[in-house]
């Protein structure tokens, strides 16, 4: 689908996967004016093809559009377009345990003009890709490096939007952490350099005694759809959740005192990813004995059960395409 100033979004169409032909001066190449989303479709045991919380993903896409000065989408129209696109190739939606169809809508600024101003032309493209089970060998905790130097985003910037620049800003730290043997980077805030923000492409949760704590949406972290789902499930189960600022010092102190019982990340790809070790200033902090915590496992089973249709869906998160 394309956008032209004066016309608006127009011309939704399904075409075979193919390379794009673009003008080298297209604004997206120079000024990074682009927005994307990542969501999933699942095939239930009875054959139904269903999306997980498409409304939440599309409204977040429009919030990203506002921040990046990209014209708003008609969310219902895009949902209908996704329905037609997925059903056109419905055999690509895998049905075995843990598999799904990953959906990547993205918007690029296509106006060929080397001036720093919002583009007057855009294209919205959707890529579909079947994905295998994230935990083919069973759910396994990851080791995370807490980043002391590089900053991913600051409040007032674009950190709360799903836009490519945030990921470009994280590549160097990610590369250095992986050389040290860590799977992902945990980011701290850019002002005080001590408040926990998020992990790579996941939001993060800590079980501190009887309470679950997750960083508040500070303006520089992504409002994860899985984060919101996990918070709702925990509260539904009567477990206290605090959304607040949480410093790395408080976490290290809780670890010393034995009250840091579990840590896990949440995101569309992994759903819930237990964290077995945090490395801060050269000191590895092993969490929960380095094994998957009970709460992380319970949340993983609950969310994936709703997605697969083997559990009831108390919040109405699944949207049937057929």
3-class DSSP assignment, residue 216: coil
Q: Strand locations in the chain, DSSP E?
A: 2-4, 8-10, 34-36, 39-43, 49-52, 100-109, 121-131, 142-146, 184-188, 196-199, 203-208, 211-215, 241-244, 260-267, 271-280, 283-286, 318-320
Residue 66, φ and ψ in degrees, nearest 5 = -60, -45
In the set 64, 110, 226, 304, which binds ligand PMP (CB under 6 A)? 226
Q: Is 266 in the site for ligand PMP (CB under 6 A)?
A: yes
In the set 64, 99, 184, 201, which binds ligand PMP (CB under 6 A)? 201
From 237-245, 261-269, 288-296, 298-306, give the range in contact with ligand PMP by CB under 6 A.
261-269
Q: Is 105 in the site for ligand PMP (CB under 6 A)?
A: no
Gap between the Cα atoms of 163 and 63, Å rounded: 11
For residues 5 to 44, the per-residue mask of contacts with ligand PMP, x marking binding by CB under 6 A and - elsewhere, is ---------------------------------x------
3-class DSSP assignment, residue 314: coil
Q: Is 202 in the site for ligand PMP (CB under 6 A)?
A: yes
Strands 271-280 vs 142-146: parallel, antiparallel or unpaired: parallel
Q: Which residue has the tokens 């960083």?
A: 215
For residues 38 to 57, the per-residue mask of contacts with ligand PMP, x marking binding by CB under 6 A and - elsewhere, is x-------------------
CB of 83 to ligand PMP, least distance (A): 20
Closer residue to ligand PMP, CB minimum distance, 65 or 110? 65
CB of 8 to ligand PMP, least distance (A): 27
Gap between the Cα atoms of 287 and 255, Å rounded: 8
Q: Which residue has the tokens 């034995």?
A: 258
Q: Is 64 in the site for ligand PMP (CB under 6 A)?
A: no
Q: Is 307 in the site for ligand PMP (CB under 6 A)?
A: no
Binding site for ligand PMP (CB under 6 A): 38, 198, 201-203, 222, 224-227, 266-268
């Amino acid at each position: 689908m394309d956008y032209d100033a004066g016309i608006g979004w127009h011309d939704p169409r399904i075409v075979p996967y193919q390379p794009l032909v673009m003008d080298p001066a297209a604004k997206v190449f120079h000024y990074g004016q682009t927005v994307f989303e990542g969501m999933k479709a699942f095939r239930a045991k009875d054959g139904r093809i269903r999306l997980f919380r498409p409304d939440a993903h599309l409204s977040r896409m429009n919030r990203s559009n506002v921040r990046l000065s990209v014209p708003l989408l008609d969310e219902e129209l895009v949902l209908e377009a996704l329905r037609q696109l997925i059903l056109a190739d419905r055999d690509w939606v895998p049905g075995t345990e843990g598999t799904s169809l990953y959906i990547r809508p993205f918007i690029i600024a296509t106006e060929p003009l080397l001036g720093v101003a919002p583009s007057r032309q855009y294209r919205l493209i959707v890529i579909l890709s079947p994905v295998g089970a994230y935990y083919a060998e069973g759910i396994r905790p990851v080791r995370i490096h807490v980043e002391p130097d590089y900053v991913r985003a600051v409040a007032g910037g674009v950190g709360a939007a799903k836009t490519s620049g945030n990921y470009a800003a994280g590549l160097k730290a990610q590369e250095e952490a992986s050389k040290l043997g860590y799977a992902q980077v945990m980011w701290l805030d850019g002002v005080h350099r001590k408040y926990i923000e998020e992990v790579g492409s996941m939001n993060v949760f800590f079980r501190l005694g009887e309470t679950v704590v997750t960083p508040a949406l500070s303006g520089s972290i992504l409002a994860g759809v899985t984060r919101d789902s996990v918070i709702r499930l925990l509260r539904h189960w009567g477990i206290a959740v605090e959304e607040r600022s949480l410093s790395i010092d408080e976490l290290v102190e809780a670890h010393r005192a034995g009250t840091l019982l579990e840590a896990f990340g949440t995101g569309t790809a992994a759903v819930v990813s237990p964290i077995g070790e945090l490395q801060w200033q050269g000191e590895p902090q092993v969490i929960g004995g380095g094994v998957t915590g009970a709460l992380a496992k319970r949340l993983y089973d609950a969310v994936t059960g709703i997605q697969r249709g083997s559990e009831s869906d108390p919040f109405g998160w699944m949207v049937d395409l057929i």
